[in-house]
Structure 1
Amino acid sequence: MAQAVHGPLSFLNTDGRPHPRENALAVVTLVLGAVALAFGFVPALNMVASWVGLAGIVTGGWGQMVSATTAERFVVVIGLGGAGLGFYLGMANGGLFG
């Protein structure tokens, strides 16, 4: 009989087994995507948005490859969308080094 997995991110473990690394990658991608998206709308923060967005894209790509459940993939895709949009807005306002 499957045991219930308890913890702060247990809603991502839809198969009943803990996935701490995959859950951490999903949440980090979501946070980086939110930060990149928020900073992408501020032209003065273009470098931060670009770098954070790039980090979110890399983290999300890795998280997508190692994800174990559909819930993790859902969170990663939402974070990837925010990171990508924040990255592109940062690039449009000056890029990684400007």
Structure 2
Amino acid sequence: MPWVRDYVRSDGTPVRGHSRWAQGARREMTILAVVALAVVGMGSGGSSTGSGTTGRPQPTVRYPVKINSTTTVRQHPQPTVSYPIPWERPDGKR
């Protein structure tokens, strides 16, 4: 936006300095705003499964979380990975 300096009109009216939109900038900004609103409107529409609910995941946890206590003590931790981890046994074997 160009800056217009102070000046005096031909009829003697003083005009303070101000900024002014460049020629054609209002039209371009209006087109940009309309496109941005259309993108936001289409993007936030959400998906429907046909039953009137959105396709968002539902929570699978039920609160409060209760951990069942076991009476047996595990000698080795259970692996949580899909490949086997060899644990050393107390007798020295793998």
TM-score (normalizing by structure 2): 0.29
In terms of Rg, which structure is larger?
A: 2
Q: Which has the higher contact order (CA 8 A, sep 6+)?
A: 1
Higher strand share: 2
Higher helix share: 1
TM-score (normalizing by structure 1): 0.28
